[in-house]
Amino acid sequence: MSNICIIVGHGKSKDGGYDSGAVNGSYHEFRIAREIAKYAAEHLNANFDVNADLMNYDGSLYLTDRIKEVNKADYDFIAEIHLNAGGGKGTEVYYYHDSPTGLKAAQAIAMNISKAFSVPNRGAKVWLNDNGKDYFAIIRETKPCAILVETLFIDNDDELAMLKTTEGQKRCGIMIAEGIAAAKGLKVIAKSETTVAPQPSAKKSYCVQVGPYSAKSDAESIREGLEKLGFNSKTWRYKNGT
């Protein structure tokens, strides 16, 4: 079984304070990214034969802490979730420069998000520093295959409008999960058929008029006849002459 970690970007700063990431008004990158990451992990666990963990949802881990946690675990794939900024539009995904799986995942996720939100697909990307190594530490310094997902631009009001809702965050998380599943070749969990036990019919009360009769024996004959038809004599009332 594949072990995957979906990581929330930002949350804790180097000095121990709060790192919001990019901001647009009252909307913070960290707060939106963590919901997207949550839905991505949930979708993976619910639909595929995989163990998908969610890291840094509470924002308690600084970047170096997140790297340490990843490297001491047994993950074979990680994805850190972000929102972009800088005046652009669309989605892009960065991957480890020498990873075919990372490339496949980055391509699939960028395509999924682009189609789901009708935004430009900026593609799967590699960003190398002056030393020829990957720029992002979460990609460069982690052991598992790693990608960094720049979902949409938080400083683009149209794109923020799509990601500030629960519906948009869930849709984005699912697109990320489906892209990872396709790149990793994850097995779909067979949905077990749920058998719904038939519910007993509601009890009914019957009021049967059996008169007028002058003799109690007539009523007893009626009672016996009804019991033969399946009626419970304890649940019906005898009305003599009414």
Give the domain CATH number at 157: 3.40.630.40
> How confident is the model at residue 105, as a pLDDT?
98
Q: What's the whole-number mean pLDDT along residues 127-154?
A: 97
Same domain, 8 and 124: yes
Residue 124 has pLDDT above 90, yes or no: yes
What is the 3 state secondary structure string of 44-112? Answer: HHHHECEEEEEECCCCCCCHHHHHHHHHCCCCCEEEEEEEECCCCCCEEEEECCCCHHHHHHHHHHHHH
Share of the chain above pLDDT 90, in %: 78
User: Does residue 167 carry a pLDDT above 50?
Assistant: yes
Structure confidence at residue 227 (pLDDT):
58
Read off the pLDDT of each residue in 152-175 and give the average, rounded to a whole number.
Answer: 98
Average pLDDT, the chain: 87
Same domain, 228 and 136: no
Burial of 93 per CB tally in 10 Å (0-12, 13-18, 19+): buried
Across residues 228-235, what is the average pLDDT? 51
Q: Which residue has the higher pLDDT, 221 or 33?
A: 33
For the beta carbon of residue 230, count every other beta carbon within 10 angstroms.
6
Residue with tokens 């519906």: 167
Considering the domain architecture, whether residues 166 and 216 belong to the same structural domain is answered as: no
pTM, two decimal places = 0.79
- Asked if 72 and 173 sit in the same domain, the reply is yes
- Inside any domain, residue 33: yes
Question: Is 189 part of any domain?
Answer: no
CA 65 to chain centre: 25
Residue-wise pLDDT tens digits, 81-121: 999 999 999 999 999 999 999 999 999 999 999 999 999 99
* Residue range 37-82, pLDDT digits in tens: 999 999 999 999 999 999 999 999 999 999 999 999 999 999 999 9
pLDDT higher than threshold 80 for residue 21: yes
Tell me: do 96 and 29 sit in the same domain: yes
- Residue bearing the bigger pLDDT, 241 or 113: 113
Residue 190: inside a domain: no
pLDDT of 232 reads: 52
Instruction: State whether 90 and 160 are in the same domain.
Output: yes
Residue 207, phi then psi, degrees to nearest 5: -110, 110
Domain tally, the chain: 2
d(CA 195, CA 3): 31
Length of the chain: 242
Is residue 194's pLDDT more than 70?
no
Give the model's confidence band at 201: pLDDT under 50 very low, under 70 low, under 90 confident, else very high: very low
Nearest alpha-carbon partner for 147 in 6, 42, 40: 6
Q: Are residues 222 and 143 in the same domain?
A: no
| Whole-number pLDDT of residue 117 | 98
Let me know whether 129 and 39 are in one domain: yes
In a shared domain, residues 18 and 52:
yes
Quick check: is 194 in a domain? Answer: no
Helix axes 166-184, 29-47, angle to 10 degrees: 50
Is 31 part of any domain? yes
**Domain identity same for 126 and 211:** no
Q: Compare 225 and 210 and report the one with higher pLDDT.
A: 225
Position 199 in a domain:
no
Does residue 169 lie in a domain region?
Answer: yes
Containing structural domain, residue 27: 2-184
Task: Specify if 96 maps to a domain.
Answer: yes
